Amino acid sequence: MAAFRILVADDHEVVRKGLIAILQQQPEWQMCGEARNGREAVEKATQLIPDVVVMDVSMPGLNGLEATRQIVKTNPATKVLILTLHDSDQVIHDVLDVGARGYLLKSDSGCELVAAVDALLRDKTYFTPKVAAMVLQGYLRGGTSFLPGRNPLTPREREVVQLLAEGSSTKEVAVTLGLSVKTAETHRSNIMRKLQFHSVSDLVLYAVRNNIVQVAQPGA
């Protein structure tokens, strides 16, 4: 039987190597690759077709949620386990919305990572008790009443928001996403119109509040 293939994505090298070290202890699991940001995770998942991707939420360039959305769309058989520092209702909603099959707090990863990945490999899900409770309360029945309004932006627009909020110019956004400068400017204009914003500072605040980017935490 072929070994299960796992890709690990985290922008902090120490964390990434630590996760790999834990997973490598399972003889039937193969670490097929690692990624330092969300965009690299999408590229490597497309190339390597892993069985499971262990994905950090907060990464530069393209965050883990948007990376997960793209991976699941391109490779439906690949299952994604999201790792995050924060256990908020909004993050929980976003994790479920992008199609992740598991959700684990980084503080629990040392003791639960293997169990979580094993569950995904067996076509099961793995969520913290809080997430499981919220799912039972209605998410999988089609209800999202416990959450604020849906994000009005498209996946591409959220990519643009992240890059702008991280300090990229419109030209740099165009280069990163493989767009013309005119198209990038159109995306920016549409975003500002949809959100009724008038400044980049408004955009940055929105990005932080909606987990498109995250403020660095001490020791994160």
For the chain, which residues make up each domain, given as ranges?
4-141, 155-209
Residue 83 predicted with pLDDT over 50: yes
Q: What is the pLDDT of residue 188?
A: 92
When comparing pLDDT for 220 and 208, which is higher? Answer: 208
Flag whether pLDDT at 154 surpasses 80: yes
Q: How confident is the model at residue 169 (pLDDT cuts 50, 70, 90)?
A: confident
pLDDT bracket for residue 146 (50, 70, 90): very low
Residues 6+ positions from 130 with CB-CB distance below 8 Å: 87, 92
Cα 12 from Cα 35, distance rounded (Å)? 10
Rg of the chain (C-alpha set): 17
Confidence at residue 185, expressed as pLDDT on a 0 to 100 scale? 93
Task: Please tell me if the domain spanning 4-141 has the same topology as the one spanning 155-209.
Answer: no
Interval 54-66 mean pLDDT = 91
pLDDT bucket at 19, cuts 50 / 70 / 90: very high
pLDDT of residue 220: 40
CA pseudo-torsion sign 8, 76, 69, 156: positive
Greater pLDDT, 202 or 190: 190
Confidence band of 3 (pLDDT split at 50, 70, 90): confident
Instruction: Please give the CATH number for the structural domain made up of 4-141.
Output: 3.40.50.2300
- Position 93 pLDDT exceeds 80: no
Which long-range contacts (C-beta less than 8 Å, at least 24 apart) are formed by 123-128?
123/79, 125/101, 126/81, 126/101, 126/102, 127/102, 127/103, 128/87, 128/103, 128/104
The token duo for 45 is 């998942």
Could you report the per-residue pLDDT of 182-198, keeping only the tens digit for each?
A: 999 999 999 999 988 87
CATH number at 155-209:
1.10.10.10
For residues 65 and 211, the answer to whether their CB atoms sit within 8 Å is: yes
pLDDT exceeding 70 applies to what percent of the chain? 83
Q: How confident is the model at residue 150 (pLDDT cuts 50, 70, 90)?
A: low
| Average confidence (pLDDT) over 68-81 | 91
Q: How large is the average pLDDT for residues 46-54?
A: 96
Q: Is 211 helix (H, G, I), strand (E, B) or coil?
A: coil
Strands 52-56, 79-84: pairing kind: parallel
118 closest CA partner among 35, 210, 28, 220:
28
Interhelix angle 155-165/181-195, rounded to 10 degrees, is: 90
User: What dihedral angle (degrees, nearest 10) is formed by the CA atoms of 87, 72, 123, 59?
Assistant: -40
Examine the pLDDT at 95 and tell me if it is beyond 60.
yes
Q: In 3-state terms, what secondary structure has residue 129?
A: helix
